[in-house]
Structure 1
Amino acid sequence: MDITIISLLILAFLILLLGSSVWIGISLLLVSTGSLLIFTDTPPTQILADILWNDANDYTMFALAGFIFMGEIMLRSTMSKNLFKGLAPWMALLPGKLFHVNIAGSTLFSAVSGSSAATTATIGKITLQELSARNYNQSLSLGSLAGAGTLGFLIPPSLIMIVYGITANVSIGQLFFAGVFPAILLAFCLSFYIAIRSIINPNLAPEKEKFTWKDRIESLPLFLPIVLLITFVLGSIYTGWATPTESAALGVVGALLFAVISRSMTFKQFQDSILGAIKTTTMIMLIVVSASYLSVVFGHLRIPAELTQVVASLELSGWQLLLILTILYIFMGFFLDGFSIIVMSLPLVLPLIVEVGFSPLWFGIYLVLLIEAAQITPPVGFNLFVISGLSKVDVLRIALYALPSFLIIMLVVIIIYIYPEIVLWLPGFVE
């Protein structure tokens, strides 16, 4: 049978399953097994057994579980709640004042949670009520939180980067290095937008209280534990003292120590942290294993090789291919979560990217940025639902508020295409 027809049949079957609300991981397993049984003579059980053993025993999976557990501990302790009190006196110095707590708080918490949804939920619980009580503009408050919450995917230790590294066979440590400057750039652009809006219309951020330098100095200990934990965890990776897996274990120990010392976690909260980490880890592992299975199936059917030849025959330039992929990924982001987008598309897309000369490391950051944009696009933008649940505002209205953040993310995508050194310089420097 023609490879094009086979590809279309597989895609149609997958869309049918996803449209029927079957779990992503189960859908991938069913599609992969069915494709092997129908189109090849290869026994699926042996392939699946090998993938289950190899992927489940991959040491990078321990990094995934560790960083998730660390984020769960942070989420349930008082360290996250102290962020607003600690950051507010300092952010009040900027045009836009406490709006910037959304950006700074998300940046800091992202560096210990690794999750966009967790970052949005945690910072939103802290800031939205405070900003509303101070009569800050609702659209800018919700829109800036939606954009800033996506930093959970770009700032190390990003869970989405770990999944990309496993799937694309790219060094997770190098991915963490590569995400640093794009994350700083995105955070700066989001804050710059808030400042410009607030300068044009000062009524967006009415000033109701003033902070003295004494207040600012006294606020430092409130967010110092998070800063120390970030420095400890990421510093151990960047200095080469620990691997990402080892730093995840160190992060868990550090988060527990802070929680115990500050007496901010009960035994029930500790149990909830363990259960939350188990649920999230097993969900992601199911998707990753299923995606690896599908990737092997594609290899048996020679779909990536054939598709690479087709694209090569079209003689597309790098920017033309990226433009097509950008449109495709934005469209996928309307309906799928970030983990699913990566594991479903990478087996087909990565060979094309390598064919036209892009670095898989650079492409990883490009893809993470597009997945960040997907987090704030309806109808399945996870950050939109999180904020809607916190604020009781309609999802579509929040999506409209988040449109400037979406455009800023796309601007950063263009910038890293024009200046790829923003992504590649730090990994090359420390390599």
Structure 2
Amino acid sequence: MTPLVIGLIGIACLFGLMILRTPVAFAMLIVGFGGLYVLEGSRAAGGVLLIESYGAVSNYSLIVVPMFILLGNVSSAAGFSRALYDAAFAWVGRFRGGLASASVLGCAVFSAVSGSSVATAVTIGKVALPEMKRLGYGDGLATGAVAAGGTLGFLIPPSTGFVLYAILTEESVGKLFMAGILPGLLLMFLFMGTVWLISVFDPAAGPRGDDVALRDRMVLLGRAAPLLSIIGVSIGGIYAGIFTPVEASAIGAGLVILLAFAKRAINFAAFRGAVVETISTSAMLYMVVIGANVLNPFLAVTHIPEVLGNTLVGFGLGAYGTLLMIILGYVVLGMFLDGLSMLVVTIPIVFPVIQQLGFDPIWFGVVAVIVIEMGMITPPVGLNVFVVKGVAGDVPMATVFKGVMPFLFAMIVGLLLIIIFPSIALIIPQTMFG
């Protein structure tokens, strides 16, 4: 058999293993090592496994992941997410669908702490969904707003998705973080606009909340200010060039730990739980990176990325026509795979095509992350939908999927705007890095 045929068999085995619920990291390790063993022999396969494993875990840029995960876990354990949500509701709750808009706003702010879509959806969902149920919000709007808002955790920096994309493509983590800011804010406003439109056409789905006096709004904002300041220091420090993303992650984690203990918002048992959860999540992500780094040499030997690029270009669809094909492929994969799996499996294959077409790799990183976000709320997998269903309890799954559909349309609108106007994603990194 030719290397190309062996490569195609390997990809089929990879998806087969994931369908059988093999963890994506080990599926990539098995296929990457096994494929290299068949093509290059045991010595080459063993060498790649050792070298790439060491290279992955010793990657300085990857320190960003555990630090920001720790920041998010400590913030959640200390109850800071509640303060963010209360402040958001105080300012926007008096509008139609205000509580749902506050949920989206809370998700956006917490995304700048956690870097995780699932963590954002769970944390804000636990706070917001009981309140919306108490005030008579429609189940579809309530769950849809939280599920869609949670996807911002994969886009608004610090984003785990951007860190992995940077490692897989050897792009700048700092540039990707900065590129995600305006698209993240754009999606946030589109989600809030969607909430408002739903509430206008169905007032019962999103009733207005009580008007909060300006003095009380300022008090609630003051309670959220310490965490907002830490977010500002971390992200603002990167933008100002004061410190690198790795330094920003460590500073942010250190400050939130000091804040939690200074305010006596966390005890040692809860802190230990946050640390253990951080280690567990980080170990999983490190294994994913190791698996991807073992799989990539196998794909390179089989020439699959090169063949795919030539095939797509051969269709004569042009740059944007080919991009559309890639996006549609992501949409289909998103119906069956979680976002992390899609990212680490597909980027090594499609990235050479993107380079061949002349697209900016930072811009494509934003596009890819948004499309992967869409997969988080599309049936039949829709990871965020399942997470919100777990928090919502008695709300039928069909209702949750129905509730996210308007927000999915809003994401499509946002994606089109970023494709038509690439400067939305590129203006900040170009301003910073030239």
Using the size of structure 1 for normalisation, the TM-score is: 0.96
Letter in 1 for 2:422: P
Q: Does 1:65 align with 2:100?
A: no
**Distance in 1 between residues matched to 2:314 and 2:89, nearest whole Å:** 56
**Distance in 2 between residues matched to 1:95 and 1:401, nearest whole Å:** 17
> Equivalent residue for 2:6?
6
Deviation of the 1:261 alpha carbon: 1.6
Aligned residue pairs total 431
Q: Does 1:408 align with 2:410?
A: yes
> Equivalent residue for 2:18?
18
> Equivalent residue for 1:35?
35
Which sits farther off after the overlay, 155-164 or 94-103? 94-103
Deviation of the 1:337 alpha carbon: 1.6
Q: Does 1:377 align with 2:378?
A: yes
Unaligned runs of 5+ in 2: none
Using the size of structure 2 for normalisation, the TM-score is: 0.96
**Distance in 1 between residues matched to 2:73 and 2:304, nearest whole Å:** 40
**Distance in 2 between residues matched to 1:122 and 1:302, nearest whole Å:** 43
> Equivalent residue for 2:429?
427
Which sits farther off after the overlay, 391-400 or 258-267? 391-400
**Distance in 2 between residues matched to 1:308 and 1:12, nearest whole Å:** 19
Identity %: 32
Residue 211 of structure 1 aligns to a residue whose secondary structure is: coil
Deviation of the 1:106 alpha carbon: 0.5
> Equivalent residue for 2:165?
164
Contact 1:108 1:226 in 2 (8 A): no
Deviation of the 1:292 alpha carbon: 1.2
**Distance in 1 between residues matched to 2:348 and 2:207, nearest whole Å:** 50
**Distance in 2 between residues matched to 1:132 and 1:355, nearest whole Å:** 50
Contact 2:199 2:207 in 1 (8 A): no
Deviation of the 1:208 alpha carbon: 5.7
Equivalent runs, 1:118-197 vs 2, <5 Å: 118-197=119-198
Residue-by-residue CA offset, 1:189-218 (whole Å, 9 max, x unaligned): 111111122233333333463322222122
Equivalent runs, 1:201-212 vs 2, <5 Å: 201-207=202-208, 209-212=210-213
**Distance in 2 between residues matched to 1:2 and 1:45, nearest whole Å:** 22
**Distance in 1 between residues matched to 2:208 and 2:364, nearest whole Å:** 43
Residue-by-residue CA offset, 1:341-388 (whole Å, 9 max, x unaligned): 111111110010111111111110001001111111233222111111
Unaligned runs of 5+ in 1: none
Contact 1:79 1:225 in 2 (8 A): no
Which sits farther off after the overlay, 183-192 or 86-95? 86-95
Deviation of the 1:258 alpha carbon: 1.3
- Give the 3 Å change call, closer, same or farther, for CA 205–395 of structure 1 in structure 2: closer
**Distance in 2 between residues matched to 1:313 and 1:369, nearest whole Å:** 27
- Give the 3 Å change call, closer, same or farther, for CA 312–327 of structure 1 in structure 2: closer
> Equivalent residue for 1:108?
109
Letter in 2 for 1:8: L
Contact 2:113 2:158 in 1 (8 A): yes
**Distance in 1 between residues matched to 2:339 and 2:61, nearest whole Å:** 19
**Distance in 2 between residues matched to 1:316 and 1:419, nearest whole Å:** 20
**Distance in 2 between residues matched to 1:150 and 1:217, nearest whole Å:** 28
**Distance in 2 between residues matched to 1:72 and 1:255, nearest whole Å:** 10
**Distance in 2 between residues matched to 1:152 and 1:208, nearest whole Å:** 26
> Equivalent residue for 1:325?
326
Contact 1:87 1:223 in 2 (8 A): no
Deviation of the 1:139 alpha carbon: 1.2
Residue-by-residue CA offset, 1:154-199 (whole Å, 9 max, x unaligned): 1000111111111111100000110111111101111111112223
**Distance in 2 between residues matched to 1:140 and 1:195, nearest whole Å:** 10
